[in-house]
Amino acid sequence: MDESLNLVRDLALIFISAGIITLIFRALKQPLILGYIVAGFLVGPHFGLFPGLTNPENVEQWSEIGIIFLLFALGLEFSFKKLLKVGSSALITAGTIFAGMFVTGMLIGGAMGWSHMERIFLGGMLSMSSTTIIIKAFDDLGLKNKPFTNIVFGTLVVEDLLAVVLMVLLSTMAVSKQFAGGEMVMALLKLLFFLVLWFVVGMYLIPTLFKKGRRVMNEEMLVILSVGLCFGMVALATAAGFSSALGAFVMGSLLAETLEGERISHSIKSIKDLFGAIFFVSVGMMVDPAIIAQYWKPILILIAAVVIGIPLFATSGVLMAGQGLHSAVRSGFSMAQIGEFAFIIASLGKSLGVMADYIYPVVVAVSVITTFTTPYFIKLSEPFYGFISRKLPPKLFESLSEVRATSRSKASESQWRQLIKAYLVRMIPYNVMLVAVLFASNMFLDPFASEHFSHINPLLLKLICAAITLLVMTPFLYGMVTAAGKYKALYDGIWASSSAAGRGPLIAMSALKIFLAVSFVMAVVSHYFKPGLGIVILIAAIAAAIFILLRIFNKRTSTLESRFLENMRQKEEYQRQAAPVTTTIREKMDGHDICVENLKVSSDFKYAGKQLKDIPLRRDYGVNIVKITRGSNIINIPSASEYLYPADDILVVGTKTQVDAFKQSLQEDLALNTSGRSAVDVESFILTPTSLLAGKSLKMVDMRNSGCMLIGIERGQDTYMNPEPDMVMQEGDVVWLVGEPDAIKLYK
């Protein structure tokens, strides 16, 4: 069979088996992710009762695309700014899990007699939860928008970043047989450099691109462009030595800051589900019953370590980060599995020859089995929280349940702390951009000039290249050495209130900026010319020229900064204009257990039509209504005498538990009033001499009050839709009625 037809056959087998199995799992009310894994096992090479795949390598490539789309979708829902907001919690939690599980893996590996290098690799494999598995489980269980998921997503992102560094470290250790701390530091610095570079460049270009093309961009163009940008960033990340998953996540995070972020997320959902299914089917194909039977003891030990250790360390990390016990338990139980990075690290160890061959299938079995248990552990978190809440001493439970704000308010921070933060926020991006310009000049400009302009005098060519490089660097040099915005206001305030001796640190900060600017200029000049007196004079002349250019580039640099800041804030500004009250409350109460949600009042709500003073919002639910939207009329902070009408949009404020309880009450009232209602049906029949309608007009029959209506009459070859009220129905007419089935029976 032709290879392309083999691929079609394999995909048909995957999707048909996945579709049938997931239908069964849906009927059994089981998570779909388990159905995908079972389908993969059934069509995999280890089952044998069903037709197998002809080319598993192609499926593996498609599953990698599935990981890309899953991480891309995650980035769209979890932007860089969200990561910064939960950054401390995510960092503490991920660090606690990594340290705890790495040591646990080392100890277990030693107890089982594994080599020193195998123990190190095992510790790395056990310390990474599965991002894709958790995303899919949250989707299936409808938990994606719960407050604790932000902590989980942030922790998973930090773990993915740690995994990149860990792979570099483990590779170096496997080759050199020693700990290479310098390699780890360099890998981390490289990662931070590229993240900042991608963020700065992407935040300047991408929102601008979407803003310019918003008027002419339809749904099709939006999907094509966003997916193209995703794969472009994946290619860049791979070229830079990082994982494709990291590139997909970064691009998703950048697109999440555009006004089209939600549209993109909705548009690619079907694509994500399609390729995600292939990924989970491919995971199921790795299940080998023979390996599980042979190495069942190590598998059980490692499974126990994962399902006990990760929830324990994750819960402890979330608590140490200042979150409440409820969020900590739910976060910990959600992460009780190992996933795709365990496969990657195991494959790395196998390829480097530092791990026994059986360890890879053992790790796959542990990952697949813990994947099976993930949805059940997520569901188990609530009963377990209830259990420990009853067993803990009241004072300890109250202390652990308290949510401690991890972010200080701006007013409570000292001026020096704010100044240093503003200084770093300004210095780091500009320095990263300047380093990027240097790299680009060395990697692209020099080879291009040598290849295409070799006929020009070498000295003149060097001068031209140096001038172009410095010209591109000038706006960034200006932005670095000048003081503007918040930094300038803080700097001037501290300078004015400080004594002469106390101004030393301020002078040092300014001197450091100038020193770095001169260093970048010297780096460019020394790259093209040999050191000497002439070079010193040249640097001085260039510095003077740059000083003049800085004034010329002042407006241009300000425009660059303004565009970047505008793109950074455009989504928040749009949300603030669309929902000013909601945005203000969320911003001011950041760090507190406050939930703000828009709800619609149903006509079945038991308090619909009553005044707010007669509705026990505070007594029964603990919530407040801070805004009512009624058509084009907006009522902020409604008075007690204001009425609540059906179809009103209300903005409810309370804790997450209180708002959920109020929303549940709205839904219960709707279900209570809709239960027992008959479905609306459409039915036709021929009028007989004994029919109730024969010989009568609609005027003579009050059909509406009985729960149905006549919509058409067929008489011979003629059809009368919505006939006039005085038209008399005759024997032999075919009449069409719409209404409740019991009411229609009355007129037959």
Dist. CA 571–CA 597, nearest whole Å: 18
* Diameter over CA atoms, the chain: 119
pLDDT digits (tens, 9 = 90+) for 558-604: 566 666 666 566 665 565 555 555 555 555 545 455 667 778 887 77
288 C-beta neighbours (distance < 10 Å), count: 19
- Give the integer Cα–Cα distance in Å for 181 and 207: 39
Whose structure tokens read 């460049």? 201
The tokens of 88 are what? 């401390």
- The answer to whether 476 and 433 are in contact (CB under 8 A) is yes
Share of the chain above pLDDT 90, in %: 3
Q: Identify the top-confidence range among 136-140, 181-185, 612-616.
A: 612-616
Strand blocks (E) in 215-298: none
Binning pLDDT at 50, 70 and 90, where does residue 618 land? confident
Which span out of 37-41, 306-310, 469-473 was modeled with the highest average pLDDT? Answer: 306-310
Q: What is the pLDDT of residues 471-496, one digit of tens each?
A: 788 778 777 777 766 777 777 777 87
Question: From the centroid of its chain, how far is CA 112?
Answer: 38
pLDDT interval class at 412 (50, 70, 90)? very low
335-372 residue pLDDT tens: 888 876 787 777 777 777 778 878 877 887 888 888 88
Answer yes or no: are the C-beta atoms of 276 and 136 closer than 8 Å: yes
Instruction: Give the pLDDT band (50/70/90) at residue 406.
Output: very low
Please state the rounded mean pLDDT for residues 433-453. Answer: 81
Give the pLDDT band (50/70/90) at residue 669: low
Q: What number is the average pLDDT over the span 188-211?
A: 78
Mean pLDDT of the chain: 76
Give yes or no for a contact between 337 and 367, defined as CB atoms under 8 angstroms apart: yes
- Calculate the alpha carbon distances from 501 to 41, 84, 321, 514, 682 in Å: 73, 36, 38, 21, 90
In the sheet that holds 681-686, the strands lie side by side as 681-686, 734-739, 708-715, 718-721
**Interatomic CA distance for residues 335 and 133, integer angstroms:** 9
Examine domains 591-674 and 681-745 and report if their fold is the same: yes
Q: Find the radius of gyration of the CA atoms of the chain.
A: 33
Rounded to an integer, the average pLDDT of 51-71 is 74
Fold for the domain defined by 591-674: Alpha-Beta Plaits (3.30.70)
Domain spans of the chain, in order of start? 68-275+289-391, 410-565, 591-674, 681-745
pTM for the model = 0.64
Paired tokens of 491? 């700097």
CA dihedral 550, 552, 554, 556 (to 10 degrees): -120
Cα separation, 6 vs 58, whole angstroms: 10
Contacts of 293 (CB under 8 A, 6+ apart): none
Among the residue ranges 265-274, 464-473, 478-487, 518-527, the one predicted with the least confidence is: 478-487
Q: How far apart are CA 117 and CA 77, in angstroms?
A: 38
Architecture of the domain defined by 681-745: 2-Layer Sandwich (3.30)
Q: Are 173 and 179 in contact (CB under 8 A)?
A: yes
Whether residue 732 is predicted with pLDDT greater than 70 in this model: the reply is: yes
Pairing of strands 708-715, 734-739: antiparallel
State the pLDDT at residue 177: 56
Q: Are 481 and 543 in contact (CB under 8 A)?
A: no
Top-level CATH class of 68-275+289-391? Answer: mainly alpha
